[in-house]
Structure 1
């Protein structure tokens, strides 16, 4: 009888041990599967965050260029690429480095949708004098229609407009040397609605 009990106990123990062992393995497999799923989920979330951060970084890297270009247009309304353009009182002025005749300078200005500068205020006169210093530049003043009758390239008569010359004859801001060796530069002023360098002027 004792042997039977012992044999039943051994059977119970062996069966319980096997069941308990299977339960332990099942629990380990379930834990491994859950760990794998959790790891996969964390990896997916991490990759999504990395992609979002990468996208944001590339956006931030491109923004300064855009911001600088909009700031450039505020700081350099006539274009940041050329030192020849100057901004004064809401207009752009081009100080040419090329030397040419007055007629050629006038034609160059017209090609740039502009005209030789018309000096119609003390402020503009001072701006031109300060900027040109000892250099010679053509201005938009001529007496080519009638000798001694000076007028600006827009047709304005010097007698009815601002002038710094009083009753004496005005002279061009620069003139061709009698020997023809040097020709002055030209100075142009963009017309209302004229294109700026940023829009294609060179």
Structure 2
């Protein structure tokens, strides 16, 4: 008989717990837990794009004022650097203003880095790779540069304390690529497109 009483007590206890759960006493707790997990997931996703604004697959890119910049770890000639930037769906950097110049200057740490400026097509006629107007745009040449120096110095790089210098295009140095901040496409949370 004691076994029957124990089984009845277990059955009654189980029924009461089920009634309590089904009547909604635990339901709000589960809803709050689910909402908390959802908020954590959203916060993590937003945080990921703040940490990697150039996209989660571009950790080596640095964000500055609406653009993404890649500072190479390997050296290349100017043409190789241009091609490598294009492979990354970007271009050699075009320096448009003092703020961008200062960002690049502090980031390059006195090493030499190619930028997207050349007079290869016509000596003395400097052109940016994106077609920006060189003559009315920002400039930061080292005093006495560009000078061509009789060696066919047709490509520009940032060097020394951030000043620009012209040098022969087959010289090997680091390079800087730039691209616009990617646009997120609704429904494709892992894909990002760059604006051409």
Tell me the CA shift for residue 85 of structure 1. 1.4
| Distance in 1 separating the partners of 2:95 and 2:107 | 14
- Matched residues in 1 for 2:58 and 2:132: separation? 31
From 34, 42, 45, the equivalent of 2:16 is 42
- Residue 172 of structure 2 is aligned to residue 183 of structure 1: yes
Instruction: List alignment gaps of at least 5 residues for structure 1.
Output: 1-30
User: Using a 3 Å threshold, how does the CA distance of structure 1 residues 44 and 176 change in structure 2: closer, same or farther?
Assistant: farther
Cα distance per residue 1:29-72 (max 9 Å; x no partner): xx999856632322324676779867865764565344222112
Taking the aligned partners of 1:70 and 1:134, their CA distance within structure 2 comes to 35
**Which is higher, the Rg of structure 1 or of structure 2?**
1
Greater helix share, 1 or 2?
1
CA offset digits 1:161-193 (Å, max 9, x no partner) = 221239954342268998x8x722211111465
Given candidates 63, 68, 87, the residue that maps to 1:92 is 68
Deviates more, 1:182-191 or 1:98-107: 182-191
Q: Are the structure 2 counterparts of residues 90 and 157 from structure 1 closer, same or farther at C-alpha, using a change threshold of 3 Å? A: closer
How far 1:87 sits from its partner (Å)? Answer: 1.0
For residues 92 and 183 of structure 2, the distance between their equivalents in structure 1, rounded to whole angstroms, comes to: 13
Alignment-derived partner of residue 122 in structure 1:
98
In the alignment, which residue of structure 1 is the partner of 2:109?
Answer: 133
Matches within 5 A, 1:1-202: 38-45=12-19, 57=33, 60-61=36-37, 63-79=39-55, 84-165=60-141, 168-170=144-146, 171-173=156-158, 183-191=172-180, 199=191
| Secondary structure at the counterpart of residue 18 of structure 2 | helix
CA distance in 2, matches of 1:176, 1:51: 71
The Cα offsets for residues 140-180 of structure 1, whole Å up to 9 and x where unpaired, read as 101111122111101234212221239954342268998x8
Aligned residues: 171
In terms of fraction of residues, the more strand-rich structure is 2
Gaps in structure 2 of 5+ consecutive residues: 147-155, 160-164, 185-189
The 3-state SS of whatever aligns with 1:186 is strand
Tell me if structure 2 keeps the 8 A contact 1:93–1:189.
Answer: yes
Q: Cα distance 1:50–1:151, how it changes in 2: closer, same or farther (>3 A)?
A: same
The aligned residue for residue 6 of structure 1 is none
CA offset digits 1:3-54 (Å, max 9, x no partner): xxxxxxxxxxxxxxxxxxxxxxxxxxxx999856632322324676779867
Q: Which moved more, 1:183-192 or 1:115-124?
A: 183-192
Deviates more, 1:77-86 or 1:117-126: 77-86
